Amino acid sequence: MATETHGAEEAAGGLPQLDFSTFSNQIFWLVVTLVVIYLILTRVALPRISAVLAERQGTITNDIAAAEELKLRAQEAEAAYEKALADARSEAQKIAAEARAEIQADLDVALAKADAEIAARASESEARIAEIRDGAMDAVKEVARDTAKEIVAALGGKADARTVTAAVNARIKE
């Protein structure tokens, strides 16, 4: 039964925070608690939070500055790369031009040698042709003389070698 009376007392009193007889005490402790919370926040929590925010801002600022510096370095590296690439291209063109000139010089030498060889063979061939022509002319003259003698003999005449040779020579020179 004691529990029943204890429950009845509580039920009769209502909520303790709404009891007007303890309002002054509750307001005092509320003010003390708010002052303590204010002091803790202003002395401990807010300086830590502002320090963290300042540190974050400093980190962000430093990161942005580092990014700008790295961007400048990257641009300088790109410019150096482009310059090196242009230098390499010009060097490659220079080497290619030198190689072309060297090949052209070798080709010119080979062509000159081939032309000289062709000219030598051509003059040799012309000399042979001239020999063959002279030999052919001599053979033609000989055949013409023999034929003329035979024709004159077949016609019943007599011709001496000198007359036949003179007639053949005169006819061939025309």
Percent of the chain with pLDDT over 70: 92
Q: Is 157 a member of any domain?
A: no
Both structure tokens of 88? 């390499």
Q: Is 146 a member of any domain?
A: no
Q: Is 34 a member of any domain?
A: yes
Name 35's Cβ contacts closer than 8 Å, sequence gap at least 6: none
Q: Is 165 a member of any domain?
A: no
Residue-wise pLDDT for 87-126, tens only, equals 999 999 999 999 999 999 999 999 999 999 999 999 999 9
Residue-wise pLDDT for 10-55, tens only, equals 555 677 778 888 888 889 999 999 999 999 999 999 999 999 999 9
Q: Is 128 a member of any domain?
A: yes
Could you count the other beta carbons within 10 Å of the beta carbon of residue 168? Answer: 20
pLDDT value at 75 more than 80: yes
Q: Is 158 a member of any domain?
A: no
Host domain of residue 56? 21-132
CA-CA distance, 166 to 172, in Å (whole number)? Answer: 10
Report the domain count for the chain: 1
Q: Is 112 a member of any domain?
A: yes
Phi, psi for residue 15 in degrees, rounded to 5: -75, 135
CA-CA distance, 17 to 29, in Å (whole number)? Answer: 12
pLDDT confidence tier of residue 3, bands split at 50, 70 and 90 = low
Q: Is 164 a member of any domain?
A: no
For 144-151, what is the mean pLDDT? Answer: 82
